Structure 1
Amino acid sequence: MDNNESMPSDRQGELVLFPVKEKEVDGIQMGVLNDGTPYLTMRGLSRLCGVSHKAIDLLTTEWLDVKQKPRGQKVDAILVKKGLRLTKLFWNLEKNGTDIRAYPASVCMAILEYYAFDAEQVDNETAKANYRALAESTLKRFIYLSVGIDPENPHRGAWQAFQDRLQLNSQVPFGFFSVFSEMADLSLKMINTGFNFGPTSVPDISVGIFWGKHWVANELNQKYGDRAKHAHTYPDWFPQHKAGPIDAWIYPDDALGEFRRWMQQSYLPTKFPAYIESKARDGSIPQINSITLLSQVKKPEPPKLN
């Protein structure tokens, strides 16, 4: 979904997603993906809503067609109120040779709301009871707690997350730089302005994706030399840690000036505000004025020379 939220339509293809933690609670199957997104399976979502698997299947499988029909229009209207205009409602993933559907929390809450208050000819008592028990933020909290992750990180806040990742990933090979390390100054400014740097908000992934596209599109390897892969490790209290070290691109030092110019002139003004707004919408970070934050993290223009 190119409204820049952590949703199925757009991120699949940008980042290979897979479950890192799973659990079943009262028949509700749930988990967390390697990028920190909490989800319910189709079975879990149907149990939450008090309907059959077939009902969820029919509602969500051919979403582009279904959202043109009365029931789909109602679900789509709920999603649009959340700022979500989706072409797909779930990820198709594989876990231990088994195919699963992963519905992110925002989609789950929209479908639950539909079955609680708008669906006709169904027993909506289960959906109503669950909807009243779960606000959107508490659904995410419920999933995190159920799979053993503390959503508040009371002893491991944004500063701890940044420090732990920096210590684990400080040894980049000589002659190369990593996007994460080069973003240290920006990350510190973001934390100072209230950004919740942690398992569900990893801004270097967003920067790395767009910088990688810029690198390939402009054939910068011909100018600076080839980039390389280097293992990036997440702290053991991050859900991403279960996947082990992740291969991430590192870039020749000669391209560092190009990267910094691209950050200031391209990523920060055109991509960064949408990233911040998407993270605020899905509850990963508190509401932050992206324009104000941009003015605080963007470097000032260089002084004019006489």
Structure 2
Amino acid sequence: MSAPVTIRPSSDAAVVKGGPTRSESLTSLMPVLALVSLVIALAAAKPGFLSQPSMTAVVDAAAPLAVLAAGATIAVLCGGIDLSIAALASLSSVLLAMWLPTLGGLASVAVVGVAAAAGALQGAAHVFLRIPSFIVTLGGMSLFSSIALVISGAAPVPVIDDGPIRWGFTRIFDVVPSAAVVAVVVVAVLALLIKATPLGSWITATGYSEPAARLAGIPVDPLKIGAFCVSGACAGLAGVLLVARTFSGGPTMADSLLLPAVAAIVVGGTAITGGHGGLWRTLVGALVVTLLRVGLSVVGVSAAYESILYGALIVAAVALTLDRSKVMVVK
């Protein structure tokens, strides 16, 4: 009889005997410490930064990014990566602007459904064709971008009647952005679903060691397809929120959000190798990335340097969160 398979749990999904290690605790606190430090620094550089209008604007700007990154976090936790999220969000914005006149309020639901199906299709290609998720979603990024350009005529598609999507850009009690509420609800629902069901341990086990997860009887293939389906659905919802803000859809509307989304995931402490991290961390990471963007303009740094900052952030965050016990050879 073969020996039982032991899968090491993540500190976010299971309680390890003796509690989390000091390094894990530090990794969990780093995103919050970075967020607090940024707020203090920006408040010192611009005394009016902590005013209600400024904070509302920051939270509102972070909402589409948080939704986009939250879905992709599920794929990363499973050990994969979804590079198509920004292109799929752009395509979703075009589809929404085109479908609103005929579908009305159902257009948003239809767009999210189509995006979820596109994500599931990529997941199926990754699982059944045994193609790395990096390659599948890289191809998906090109495919979705091209489709968006073709159907839109490479031009923005204006929204004539914004009534059905006004819920995405309103102020609750004239203070709280509705988009921020949507982002928090999405993260809360996904986090609760993972924590209250076996999905949490399944995702952790799959991300930490897929071969061991298969030996333990975990349905790895459906799980990974579902992860990419959720990632696609969140990309579609992010596209809806962007249209609600700009009253138009565009074939490149969300393209600039890919690097910030990846940065939000890794800055939030989710290991790029999978198996360790969390959705609430990604939400904090999205706020950190948005505050960094605001901070650049506050201190007078050109927006052209944003990509340099994101690149440096990603490298530094991966260096801090990489589980080197899983990567015996770095290629």
TM-score range, shorter chain: under 0.3
Superposition TM-score, scaled by structure 2 size: 0.25
Q: Which structure: larger Rg?
A: 1
More helix by share: 2
Between 1 and 2, higher relative CO (CA 8 Å, sep ≥ 6) is seen in: 2
More strand by share: 1
